[in-house]
Amino acid sequence: MKASVLFSGGKDSSLSAILLEPFFEIELITFSFSLLPVGEFVSESAYELGYPYKILNLDTEILDKALKMAIEDGYPKNAINYIHYNAIKKLASIKSNSKEAIADGTRRNDRVPMLGESQIQSLEDKYNIYYITPLKGYGRSAVDVLVQKYLEIEQNQSENIIKADYETELREIIRQTYGDDKVSQIFPSHVQSRIIKRIK
Amino acid sequence: MKASVLFSGGKDSSLSAILLEPFFEIELITFSFSLLPVGEFVSESAYELGYPYKILNLDTEILDKALKMAIEDGYPKNAINYIHYNAIKKLASIKSNSKEAIADGTRRNDRVPMLGESQIQSLEDKYNIYYITPLKGYGRSAVDVLVQKYLEIEQNQSENIIKADYETELREIIRQTYGDDKVSQIFPSHVQSRIIKRIK
């Protein structure tokens, strides 16, 4: 069975693909609003992992609505979940009735981005696909052990690392619309990872 | 890294072991109160899967307390969760500071048996082990597809299938103490699976 894995270039989505690899035919998928050349940022990471890789576009009105949410809330959680849900939904509609798998890198303790149980069930039922989160049963420390075994990563503060996650373009649209200060107000600085190499 | 997978002889625990196999050194573990020869029931399934297999005993006072809970509640959910938590805790204490993994077959939509997030975190922190649920990110239909690909199973109503799950011995202690009618009052009949063969 084919599995399309949502890929940000970070360790969680990379490890998710590696865990699925023995059982599925993997393709990495990155969504972009074309606001930044996110595909260029991560195509090298995808190549290093050794999987086919595709960039798909999301309507900019989704980013506009996410921008409004982030500004109104003063924090990015709901905005990022909104983009994530729409990305999964778009991929599910493309894969409609294929009975293929769609996967992402959600971990056990993740809250953002994360689909709710009813969202998952309705996407699976409506589009006849399987939504799989291979890391959902793994805690942070187990993930770290596996990442160390299979991946060489670069870690840095979120504002210094360019990834193909939704955060990168959401930060950019906030920066373009409201300036740098607003970005650091809304996004607490946190450590992000980008994969450099796969260890075989 | 070694992973001890709680094994009932059913499809979920078997598939969990198969999903972990490329990344961990698997050992199957079955817990028993020695009320029934549960080990004999499933040692053949374990052999078919091709993993080393061990039976460990749980204190009968845990079964006594579970019996009380099931009778008081009138349903088995809390009693089974209580036994499951104590089984994981015992295995974690045996594996204390080993930095090994302990796994079980919990699926995305499972409610029984299932550990809560704070129970998991406290077991991981106290015993310095990794608790992993490889199927937690898989829904029922995705599990069914993989089971069909990798396992030959027998399915039957729960009262007609002998497995090495906690239900089998909990049913037996209720039967011995209160008779057959009480068993069917407390346990709704549901389909259980037992693996026959691994498809390679």
| Among candidates B23, B99, B142 on the partner chain, residue whose Cβ is nearest the Cβ of A132 | B142
Give yes or no for a contact between B30 and B8, defined as CB atoms under 8 angstroms apart.
Answer: yes
Sign of the C-alpha dihedral computed for residues B176, B111, A11 and A92 taken in this order:
positive
Name the E strands within chain A. Answer: 2-6, 25-32, 53-57, 101-103, 130-132, 151-157, 191-198
pLDDT of residue B126: 97
Looking at the predicted structure, is the pLDDT value of residue B161 above 80?
no
> What is the torsion angle, in degrees rounded to the nearest 10, for the CA atoms of residue B91, residue B95, residue B100 and residue B101?
10
Q: Residue A31 and residue A86: Cα distance in Å, rounded?
A: 10
Give yes or no for a contact between A15 and A114, defined as CB atoms under 8 angstroms apart.
Answer: no
pLDDT of residue A135: 98
Residues B89-114: tens digit of each pLDDT: 999 999 999 999 999 999 998 888 88
Tell whether B14 is within 8 A of chain A (Cβ). Answer: no
Q: Which residues contact A116 (CB under 8 A, 6 or more apart)?
A: none
pLDDT of residue A137: 97
Contacts of B146 in chain A (CB under 8 A): 23
> Where is B15: in which H helix or E strand?
helix B11-20
Sequence ranges of the domains in chain A: 2-198
Contacts of B121 in chain A (CB under 8 A): 139
Looking at the predicted structure, is the pLDDT value of residue B166 above 90?
no
Q: Minimal Cα distance from B115: which residue of A?
A: A137
Residues A131-142: tens digit of each pLDDT: 999 999 999 999
Q: Residue A31 and residue A58: Cα distance in Å, rounded?
A: 6
What is the overall mean pLDDT for chain B? 94
Is the CB of B137 less than 8 angstroms away from the CB of A141?
no
Tell whether B19 is within 8 A of chain A (Cβ). Answer: yes
Q: Provide, rounded to the nearest whole percent, the portion of chain A with pLDDT above 90.
A: 80
| Among candidates A22, A101, A137 on the partner chain, residue whose Cβ is nearest the Cβ of B134 | A137
Residues A62-74: tens digit of each pLDDT: 999 999 999 999 9
Q: Residue B172 and residue B36: Cα distance in Å, rounded?
A: 8
Tell whether B132 is within 8 A of chain A (Cβ). Answer: yes
| Among candidates B121, B130, B141 on the partner chain, residue whose Cβ is nearest the Cβ of A130 | B141
Contacts of B142 in chain A (CB under 8 A): 101, 130-132
Is the CB of A120 less than 8 angstroms away from the CB of B139?
yes
> What is the torsion angle, in degrees rounded to the nearest 10, for the CA atoms of residue A35, residue A40, residue A46 and residue A51?
90
The pairing of strands B130-132 and A25-32 is unpaired
Looking at the predicted structure, is the pLDDT value of residue B165 above 90?
no
Architecture in CATH for domain B2-198:
3-Layer(aba) Sandwich (3.40)
| Among candidates A22, A103, A137 on the partner chain, residue whose Cβ is nearest the Cβ of B22 | A22
Sign of the C-alpha dihedral computed for residues A127, A128, A129 and A133 taken in this order:
positive
Query: Could you tell me how far CA A81 lies from the centroid of its own chain?
Result: 10
Tell whether A1 is within 8 A of chain B (Cβ). Answer: yes
Tell whether B166 is within 8 A of chain A (Cβ). Answer: no
> Where is B68: in which H helix or E strand?
helix B60-73
Q: What is the ipTM of this complex?
A: 0.94
| Among candidates B106, B135, B141 on the partner chain, residue whose Cβ is nearest the Cβ of A124 | B141
Q: Minimal Cα distance from B114: which residue of A?
A: A137
- Smallest CA-to-CA distance from A98 within A136, A124, A70, A69 is with A124
Cα Rg of chain A, angstroms? 16
Is the CB of B109 less than 8 angstroms away from the CB of A132?
no
